[in-house]
Chains A and B, each alone.
Chain A
Amino acid sequence: MSASRSSSQVQQGDRIFSLIVQACAVLIILILVSIIAVLVIKSQDTIGRFGLDFFTKGTWDPVNEIFGALPYIYGTVVTSILALLLATPFAIGSAIFVSEYVPRRIGDIISFTVELLVAIPSVAYGVWGFLVLKDVLRTTVDPALKAVVGPIPILGGLFRGPLYGLDIFTSSVILAIMILPTILAVSREVVRQVPRLQKEGMIALGATKWEAIRIAIIPYARTGIVGGAMLGLARAIGETMAVTMTIGNASPDKLTGSLFQSTSTLASAIASQFNEAQAARTYGSAVVQLGLVLLIVSSVINLFSRFLVSRTGAKNTRS
Chain B
Amino acid sequence: MAQAQPLVPQLDRTALISAEKTRYARRQLTNTIASGLMFFLTAVSVSVLFIILAYIFINGISTLFPVVDGHLTFNLDFFIKPPESNLDGTTGGGVAQAILGTIEILIVAGIIAVPLGVGAAIYLSEYGTGFLVNTLNFTIDLLAGLPSVVVGLFVLAAFIGNLALIKIFPHFAGLAGSFALIIVMVPIIARSVEQILRLVPDSLREAGLALGMPKWRVILQIVLPTVAGGITTGIMLSLARAAGETAPVLLTILGQQFISTDLLQPMDALPIRIYKYATTGQPDLIPKAWAGTMVLVIVIALFSIAVRYVTGRNRYDA
Residues of A within 8 A of B (CB): 10-11, 13-14, 16-18, 20-29, 31-32, 34-35, 38-39, 41-42, 89-91, 93-94, 96-98, 100-101, 110, 112-114, 116-117, 119-128, 130-132, 177, 180-181, 184, 208-211, 213-214, 234, 237-241, 244-245, 267, 270-271, 274-275, 278, 281, 284, 287-288, 291, 294-295, 298-299, 302-303, 306
Give the interface centre of B154, B160, B240, B290 by most chain A CB atoms within 10 Å: B154
For A212, the closest partner residue in chain B by CB is B31
Chain A residues in 8 Å Cβ range of B216: 13-14, 16-18
Query: How far is B50's CA from A177's CA once the two chains are assembled, in angstroms?
Result: 11
Known: A98-B42, A274-B153. A21 touches B246 (CB 8 A): no
Contacting pair A124 B293 (CB below 8 A): yes
In the complex, identify which listed stretch (B2-10, B65-73, B133-141) lies at the interface while the others stay far away: B133-141
Q: Per a CB cutoff under 8 Å, which of A32, A177, A271, A288 touches B142?
A: A32
Contacting pair A240 B246 (CB below 8 A): yes
Q: Number of B residues contacting the other chain (C-beta, 8 Å)? A: 97
Contacting pair A119 B31 (CB below 8 A): no
Chain B residues in 8 Å Cβ range of A241: 246-247, 271, 275
Least CB distance, A175 to chain B, in whole angstroms: 13
Chain A residues in 8 Å Cβ range of B140: 28
Within 8 A of A (CB), among B132-152: 132-133, 135-136, 139-143, 145-152
Contacting pair A267 B149 (CB below 8 A): yes
Contacting pair B45 A25 (CB below 8 A): no
Contacting pair B297 A120 (CB below 8 A): yes
Residue-wise, chain B 41-59 has the 8 Å CB interface mask toward A (1 for contact) of 1101110110011011000
User: What are 22 residue pairs bridging A and B, where the CB atoms are less than 8 Å apart in the complex?
Assistant: A13-B216, A13-B217, A24-B119, A35-B146, A38-B158, A119-B303, A121-B271, A121-B296, A124-B274, A126-B275, A128-B52, A131-B290, A180-B48, A210-B31, A210-B34, A238-B145, A239-B147, A240-B147, A274-B152, A288-B153, A291-B153, A298-B150
Least CB distance, A86 to chain B, in whole angstroms: 11
Query: How far is B308's CA from A286's CA once the two chains are assembled, in angstroms?
Result: 42
Query: How far is B144's CA from A303's CA once the two chains are assembled, in angstroms?
Result: 11
Q: Per a CB cutoff under 8 Å, which of B44, B146, B296 touches A299?
A: B146
Chain B residues in 8 Å Cβ range of A298: 145-147, 150
Chain B residues in 8 Å Cβ range of A10: 214
Chain B residues in 8 Å Cβ range of A291: 149-150, 153-154, 157
For B147, the closest partner residue in chain A by CB is A238
Chain A residues in 8 Å Cβ range of B147: 237-240, 267, 294-295, 298
Cβ of B289 < 8 Å from any Cβ of A? yes
Least CB distance, A75 to chain B, in whole angstroms: 14
Least CB distance, A297 to chain B, in whole angstroms: 9
Query: How far is B86's CA from A221's CA once the two chains are assembled, in angstroms?
Result: 59
Contacting pair B132 A42 (CB below 8 A): no
Contacting pair B135 A29 (CB below 8 A): yes
Cβ of B190 < 8 Å from any Cβ of A? yes
Contacting pair B142 A94 (CB below 8 A): no
Chain A residues in 8 Å Cβ range of B200: none
Cβ of B37 < 8 Å from any Cβ of A? yes
For A41, the closest partner residue in chain B by CB is B165
Query: How far is B150's CA from A298's CA once the two chains are assembled, in angstroms?
Result: 10
Query: How far is B45's CA from A181's CA once the two chains are assembled, in angstroms?
Result: 9
Known: A110-B46, A287-B153. A209 touches B119 (CB 8 A): no
